[in-house]
Amino acid sequence: MWLVLREISWADSNKLLLWETKNRGQVVILARWRPPQAKVVEVNTDAATFKDLNTIRLGVVARDSSGACVAWRTKLLEVNVDTECVKAMAIRLAVELCGELLWMNVETECDNINVVSALNRDGHKELSICDRYCKTSED
């Protein structure tokens, strides 16, 4: 088993070296997940659009300060909406999960800057921002 893992690691290292050779001068930012503070739950959201199937998939993963997964949820919907609306729907799913579990100290992550900016600007209006964002995105 160790030999297999070492070979996989060696192959990955060579892929990275090849990528670095082809892409000299580009800036690469490596991000590493950091656990939240004690008594805080971090909720990560993501979403995908499958236009050919007219479906979307939402995903939520919640981790505690030790990095352990404490809850998760996925949802498959048959709708055709744009990417930013789908990301907002994933955040809404996360908020619903946190509400069901009565979590009060929560940090969230989303990889869409437009949705995050809208929530930071209008987040005090609770979940309505997700609905409004989707409506304005569809127009």
Domains defined along the chain, listed by start: 41-138 (3.30.420.10)
Q: What is the pLDDT of residue 8?
A: 44
Spatial separation of the C-alpha atoms in residues 88 and 9, rounded to whole Å: 37
Q: What is the pLDDT of residue 98?
A: 94
Name which of 111, 136, 104 is nearest 31 in CA terms.
Answer: 111
Asked if residue 105 has pLDDT above 50, the reply is: yes
Tell me what the mean pLDDT of segment 3-30 comes to.
52
Which residue would you say has higher pLDDT here, 15 or 58? 58
Q: Which amino acid is at 107?
A: E
Q: Do the Cβ atoms of 104 and 39 come closer than 8 Å?
A: no
Supply 65's token pair. 């300060």
Spell out the residues 6+ positions from residue 25 whose beta carbon is closer than 8 angstroms to its own: none
